[in-house]
Amino acid sequence: MTLTLVFAVVLVALVFEYINGFHDTANSIATVVATKVLSPGQAVLLAAATNLIGALWGTAVAKTISSGLIDSNIVNVTPELLICALLGATIWDLITWWWGLPSSSSHALVGGLCGAALAGAHNNWSALIWNQAGTHWWDGKGLWPKVILPMITSPLAGFVLGVTVMGLLFALISWLGARASPAINQFGRPRFVNAFFGKAQIFSASAMGLSHGMNDAQKTMGIIALALAGATSAGSLDQLPSFLHFMRIEQDASKSFEIAL
């Protein structure tokens, strides 16, 4: 594994993350821009800051991508394989962005990684980790507990929670409105409701950006860590200068590793 290929993986990963940014940023800031609570520039800065904080919050998603989906004992995770995975996800992101489809970049990357691994293993489906039980059900590894099951339950959970929260808020506002003295603005809407929920939208958009960073920024972190771990085990990073030694990622016997900050 040459150092040039390793840096090529990092470069393609950063390109994917950039495209992921303009593909998904609208998810977290669409409401505050549509209601004119924030200008588009302010909303983008808010999304950038909260996504960065989310990316540094932890490494759980990065570990899933880097060591929980592909069995490196069966398929050799080469830089070429990772570049193919990233390009597949990037092309799909660009197609859905062009068509305005709100698709999942996370699942695009998982699909690209699994497809590239399957091709690299000459159609040996054992190269994909389907299910490995852990101490608890949430500690398991594999496509079923980490990708397929959440892909089904996440939209359903969002729907149920959205209906529940909306219903509770509507009941609360109706109860408060019946007891409050009328204070109507020029649009015929209560001033307090507009002011309160305008500020609350900033909070909800920040929370969305934070959770997006914890998920989407980390998945690219996992791909970069996977490339660096492979390069470290191959000895490609042995001659790095001391200030770049943070790029060395050592694997244990189970092919797992810690992702450096």
Domain presence at residue 219: yes
Give the pLDDT of residue 119. Answer: 93
Give the pLDDT of residue 27. Answer: 73
Domain presence at residue 193: no
Give the pLDDT of residue 160. Answer: 96
Q: Which residues of the chain have pLDDT under 50?
A: none
pLDDT in tens, 36-57: 888 888 998 998 899 889 888 8
Domain presence at residue 257: no
Residue 133 belongs to domain spanning: 3-149+204-247
Q: How many domains does the chain have?
A: 1
Domain presence at residue 164: no
Give the pLDDT of residue 254. Answer: 64
Domain presence at residue 15: yes
Give the pLDDT of residue 156. Answer: 94
Give the pLDDT of residue 19. Answer: 87
Give the pLDDT of residue 163. Answer: 96
Domain presence at residue 184: no
Give the pLDDT of residue 138. Answer: 65
Domain presence at residue 258: no
- The DSSP annotation for the chain comes to --HHHHHHHHHHHHHHHHHHHHHHHHHHHHHHHHTTSS-HHHHHHHHHHHHHHHHTT--HHHHHHHHSSB-TTTS---HHHHHHHHHHHHHHHHHHHHHT----HHHHHHHHHHHHHHHHTTS-GGGB---B--SSGGG-BSHIIIIIHHHHHHHHHHHHHHHHHHHHHHHHHHHHHHHSPP-B-TTSSBHHHHHHHHHHHHHHHHHHHHHHIIIIIHHHHHHHHHHHHHHHHTTTTTT--GGGGGG-----TTS--PPP-
Domain presence at residue 91: yes
